[in-house]
Chains A and B, each alone.
Chain A
Amino acid sequence: MSKALLEISGLVAGYGHLPVLHGIDLSVKEGEIAAIIGANGAGKTTLMMSIFGNPKPSAGRILFEGRDITDLPAHAVALERIAQSPEGRRIFPRMTVLENLQMGTLIAPDKERYEDDLGHVFELFPVLATRKDQRAGTLSGGEQQMLAIARALMGQPRLLLLDEPSLGLAPLITRQIFAAIKALNEEGLTVLLVEQNAYHALKLASCGYVMVNGRITLSGSGTELLESDEVRRSYLEGGASSPSADEAKKGAKA
């Protein structure tokens, strides 16, 4: 078995005196895609951000490749070669696509590889190549998400954190993004994915966690979770998520 790249144990974090995460345990193995699913406000984004030290964890440990990164400031965490496409994408709107991508290279250990990396992300997201001199703020939502992922990749990360990459995107674009994530993983990149779109995320993930109110209530392999009653009931069927149930059928046919 491959060893754990990211190991989180007993993590408690919150805003002010109000804890949001109540002791999170999870691990991401080298080379896999791990997915965290959960409803709005479960604390998924808080978990992603507290890996970067903001909010600061008040208890628990975060190990990356066995090193303790719990108390490092955000930029030092990034220098460990953990890259993030944060919630809401957070691209630099007034800079061009190319400049955005350059900002991603801050943590790249091998600056000589810049051209290759650029070629690589343009191959992954060809639309970015055609838009590279355009101001990033004028990109469509899907393109902005692609840019956020591409920017993170420019740092040659060992671990990629993705916070709701499908947020607000049309199903077709969502599928493109997930295909790209899959391709990246097949090249050997480890990915920790946070999603509300449970179907897509779990189908892709080799390992999944369900987060409810700041706790991990269920974990297992992606397919196990997809078939589990709790996940089916809360995240795949019923009101808001019926479209993804439709997609589940389509996906099963395909």
Chain B
Amino acid sequence: MEPAVREKPRLLPALWDAAIAAGIAFLLFCLVLGVRTVDGVYGLTLQPRPVLLAVVVGIVFFGRLALNLFWWDRDWRFPPLPFFSRTAKDAKDRAPRDIYRVGLVLIGFAAVFPLLGLVLNKVFGANLPLLYLIDLSILVLTYVMLGWGLNIVVGLAGLLDLGYVAFYAVGAYTFAILATTFGWSFWMCLPLAGILAAFWGIVLGFPVLRLRGDYLAIVTLAFGEIIRIVIQNWTELTGGPNGISNIPEPSFFGLEFAFRGDNTFHQFFGLPYDAIYGSIWLYYIILVMALITNAVTLRLRRLPIGRAWEALREDEIACRSLGMNTTTTKLSAFATGALFGGFAGSFFAARQSFISPESFTFIESAIILSIVVLGGMGSQLGVAIAAVVMIGGFEALRHTDSLQLVFGTGFDPTLYRMLFFGLAMVAIMVWRPRGLVSTRQPTVTLNKDAGSISKDLVSEGSG
């Protein structure tokens, strides 16, 4: 009823407003879009493009009009998102349980998805692009693990680390070098790679102990670059820009996933050869490694050291005056984060079977950091979702034809990766400035009775 009555008087001001916006757009664009310089036979000439200009100004006019009429004055709201409820009270009571539940569902899905796909394909003759899906999931899970690892440093301890890729590189090269020169297996090298990365974490930690915020960020950034450049130039050890190839894949309890060999997986189980088995095995390795990272982080958060990291993030001076040794606390955060980065690096090398310094540029650090920031610093579920969206969602875009329809056949969304990252960042910072999942679960509570009493009192007090 009401809107119909109100509509008439609102139309004129809306038109007026839209006209002003269109006028501004015309002024702005008449030189930018309206004319184009052409390098012709007679030198530079101007070619007018009135149609394009008219289209753009038209879009602004009608867009603004539509916003005026239907959007800004709307008397309905978006229904609240199920898991990210807005009201503080709701969030307080429900969020931890919801997060836990969503996490369990996601883990359950991740655990059965490749086998489910395999059964669908092999038994029911479905035609899923399983190899592609699993490879993509492996990529996503690698970033989930890296995100969780960096989350310890950035999210929990609050140390802004822009050089995390250095530890990823150390892990990858440790495994690659040991495996190709001594023929050591993945499982033997994995702990070594982690320990070596953790060691470098401590080495980096020492000089930056006194630094905070932007200064810390700059030094860690430089550290990442130093490691990469050393790798690039230490040709005898690392192969320099040529990298290291023929890195062996992890074996399945001694069985290889090769097509031919003495001890291959498919022969042992009497199956026809299929590359999918190797991929599935890799998938489960990275899934388990990522979940271990998560479990360790969640456990550490409940231990004094994890609490100390969080306190350090909040206030360093207070920590010191409470008797915390901030030096060892910071170093342990760097080392733990680096440890998981090193594990992930080994896995990366084993999976790619070829590594070169190009895989460890600053952009990798930036991607991992943006996953942590987008996810909501310190939130495990948020980081996982951010990794899925940023890496997986993005790769998936590449294969949607609709985008090609809009932007032309040559359109490759992966070229605009950074643009999308930036847009996602801006969107998150506008709508959820603390990241996707911003609730922090307390790690201690008193016994239940006291808890319920206090909760009543709290809501009374705040109401």
Contacts and interface: CB of A to CB of B under 8 A. Distances in A.
* A and B assemble together: yes
Interface of A: 52, 54, 73-75, 78-79, 83-84, 86, 90-96, 98-99, 102-104, 106-107, 129-134, 151-152, 155
Given A103-B307, A130-B461, A75 B317 contact: no
A129 B450 CA distance: 9
Nearest to A93: B314
B325 A75 contact: yes
Contact of A95 (B304, B310, B455): B310
Interface string B315-326: 101111111111
10 contacts: A75-B323, A75-B326, A78-B322, A86-B317, A86-B321, A98-B446, A104-B322, A130-B457, A132-B454, A155-B322
Contacts of B307: 99, 102-103
Contacts of B311: 92, 95, 103
Interface stretch (B32-40, B361-369, B436-444): B436-444
Contact of A133 (B310, B315, B324, B442): B442
Interface residues on B, range: 20 to 34
Contacts of A106: 304, 322-324
Given A106-B324, A132-B454, A91 B445 contact: no
Contacts, number: 91
Closest 3 CB pairs of A and B: A78-B323, A107-B323, A74-B320
A79 B318 CA distance: 14
Nearest to A148: B318
B322 A151 contact: yes
Given A78-B322, A94-B314, A130 B458 contact: yes
B451 interface: yes
Contacts of A74: 320-321, 326
Q: Is the interface of A mostly helix, strand, loop or mixed?
A: mixed
B320 A133 contact: no
Main secondary structure of the interface of B (DSSP, over half): helix
B447 to A, nearest CB: 10
Contacts of B323: 75, 78-79, 106-107, 155
B322 A52 contact: no
Given A79-B323, A95-B310, A98-B445, A131 B461 contact: yes
A164 to B, nearest CB: 15
Nearest to B451: A133
A99 B320 contact: no
A95 B442 contact: yes
Interface string B286-330: 000000000000000000100110110111011111111110000
Contact of A90 (B315, B324, B451, B454): B315
Given A83-B321, A86-B318, 7 more contacts: A52-B320, A94-B440, A103-B308, A130-B454, A131-B454, A132-B446, A133-B442
Contact of B442 (A73, A86, A99): A99
A133 B317 contact: no
B322 A98 contact: no
A98 B450 CA distance: 12
A103 B442 CA distance: 13
Nearest to B314: A92
Nearest to B457: A130
A93 to B, nearest CB: 6
Contacts of B451: 133
B321 A52 contact: yes
Contacts of B458: 130-131, 133-134
Contacts of A107: 322-323
A15 B430 CA distance: 40
A119 B317 CA distance: 27
Contacts of A84: 321
Given A99-B442, A103-B307, A54 B320 contact: yes
B379 to A, nearest CB: 12
Contact of A99 (B318, B321, B444, B455): B444
B318 A92 contact: yes
A156 to B, nearest CB: 11
Among B319, B321, B326, B455, which residue has the most Cβ atoms of chain A within 10 A? Answer: B321
Interface centre among B304, B322, B443, B446 (most CB of A within 10 A): B322
Nearest to B304: A106
A92 B321 contact: no
Nearest to A84: B321
A155 B322 CA distance: 8
Contacts of B319: 103
Nearest to B456: A130
A107 B320 CA distance: 11
A93 B318 CA distance: 12
B322 A91 contact: no
A156 B372 CA distance: 38
A190 B388 CA distance: 56
Nearest to B443: A99
Contacts of A134: 458
Contacts of B324: 75, 103, 106
A90 B313 CA distance: 12
